[in-house]
Amino acid sequence: MPFVLPSSIARFIDGAPLTRDCVGESPCEVHAFSRGNDRFFLKLSAAVYAPTTYSVLREASVLQWLDGKLHVPEVVACAAGDGHEFMITRAVPGQPLSELMAEAPTVHQAFGEALRQLQAVPVEGCPFDSSASVRLRELEYLVGQGLIADDWDPETWPDLPTPEALIAHLHASVPVEDLAFSHGDLCDANLFLDARERLHFIDLGRGGLADRWLDIAFAHRNLAEELSPDAAERFIRQLGIPDQPARRLFFEQLDEMF
């Protein structure tokens, strides 16, 4: 590794071989390792991401706050040093929903149950703000640092061809938010279903109070891309609430450069 592990992190890993996990599009690095029969993940983010939701110390705090509220990974250790933040978590049981996408009823039920559980987390006393204004400030920081996603495609919305145009549009389009606890990146790779059909949530760096349509928008987009637009529309119908396409579009556009 091109950096020095903090002593508390190195002691826990204790020389175990690290295997790079390349799932996901985050700038964070993830490495899997085992101790005995237990599997763990080392996740690290560069210090430049400390003010953002890519910060693994922020994610560690979110996971610790959610302990007992949702099934989330156990935080084993976290530390900062050598220009990075580090976190070790214990692997959750089960398989990711991405491996079950062919089973449409199961997938729809899982996303619906995930929303129910997330939005049942009490908002009183939640210390994590992931509202649109906070995420827009984060986006402006990333643009200023030259850290927007490598795969950002200005052709996605041709009338918003530059980061500055998209950010200005987003500032002018912020909805009146109906705040709930939000995962922030709800997709089939971040939901696990165990043998007892219990849901486990991973990658909660963006977790916090946000409009309840943020998670709905991401689940809808995931189903449209991985199954079909019809499957995505069926998911919305099964929620039993009127669709709000403009809200969904806002959160998809907000996510475009992350």
Residues involved in catalysis = 185
- DSSP, residue by residue, the chain: --SPPPHHHHHHHTTPPPEE---S--SSEEEEEEETTEEEEEEEEEGGGTTSTT-HHHHHHHHHHHBTTB--PPEEEEEEETTEEEEEEEPPSSEEGGGGTT-HHHHHHHHHHHHHHHHHS--TT---B--HHHHHHHHHHHHHTT-S-TT--TTSSTTS-SHHHHHHHHHHHPPPP-EEEE-SS-STTSEEE-TT--EEE---TT-EEEETHHHHHHHHHHHHHHT-HHHHHHHHHHHTS---HHHHHHHHHHHTT-
